[in-house]
Amino acid sequence: MNSYPRKPMINSWIWVIAWMSIIFFFSTDLFSGSQTSRIIGPFLKWFAPDISAESIATVQLVFRKIAHLVEYGILSILCCRALAKQDKLRVLQLAALVQAVLIAVAYAAFDEWHQSWTDERFGSPLDVAIDSVGAIVGAVLFSWLSRSKRGTTIP
């Protein structure tokens, strides 16, 4: 008999909602291109003093699009994890992986709509597409990792 007190479980969907809240915060004017250029530009100038304004703009654009991929990859992984825990599965079936991706893509569309209401940002179908790729990559990564640990339970 185990005499240790049980560690309280936090519902896995709380992590999904928390990450969605972080994404929502990143979609405000505080993280618009003009705001992030105030950080990225000086950093690049410090790192490479001779860098051109065009190169800085390109690096910033690439950095921001990679951030889209990563944040929606994480969201998809969190959705996969929540679905796996909800159904007490070690490996998610394809339908559940698709469901996780669809949740992330729906949130991406909502997030771009949210951005269209801010002063310094705008909604972009291209960003929804980039977010969708990130969500798919996240689900594939989750599936691959959970299959490679087939004998263990989902953390």
State pTM to two decimals.
Answer: 0.82
Higher-confidence residue of 122 and 145: namely 145
**What is the per-residue pLDDT across 115-133, written as a single tens digit (0 to 9) for each?**
888 877 778 899 999 999 9
Candidate from 37-46, 104-113, 127-136 with smallest mean pLDDT? 37-46
Looking at the predicted structure, is the pLDDT value of residue 17 above 90?
A: yes
| pLDDT band for position 114 (cuts 50, 70, 90) | confident
How many other C-beta atoms can be found within 10 angstroms of the C-beta atom of residue 20? 19
Contact between 119 and 64 (Cβ < 8 Å): no
List, as one string, the DSSP characters of the chain: ---SPPPPPPPHHHHHHHHHHHHHHHTSGGGSHHHHHHHHHHHHHHH-TT--HHHHHHHHHHHHHHHHHHHHHHHHHHHHHHHHHHTT-SS--HHHHHHHHHHHHHHHHHHHHHHTTSSS----HHHHHHHHHHHHHHHHHHHHHHHHTTTS---
